[in-house]
Structure 1
């Protein structure tokens, strides 16, 4: 999934403002920006993984019931 900077920069800015991401310049090359999850972002990531697992289970359950 490739996105251009015009799409990503506003999204990253919003997530930084919500304290979900940390944005830092690379000490080796200031042209690079390192983006990492803050604690709140990691918690949200875990919730998203749980939702994904529940959806996958529900889909398998529905498809196996439909075959019967």
Structure 2
């Protein structure tokens, strides 16, 4: 499932493989509600290399997504 170019797997990876505090430091707004982790309106930037080799930031999108927290 993709939304505005963001792979949901990327968002899952942030929550599953990084600590929540580190995810927060990446600019992900994380709120824990009982068994859920809620990512709310994340502004996601990707660094890409353009054809001439310069790095540029690409705005990918905002999303509202809820996933089950692993216990």
TM-score by structure 2 length?
Answer: 0.33
Higher share of residues assigned helix: 1
Which structure carries more relative contact order (alpha carbon 8 Å, separation 6+)?
A: 2
Q: Mark the structure with the bigger radius of gyration.
A: 1
TM-score by structure 1 length?
Answer: 0.34
Higher share of residues assigned strand: 2
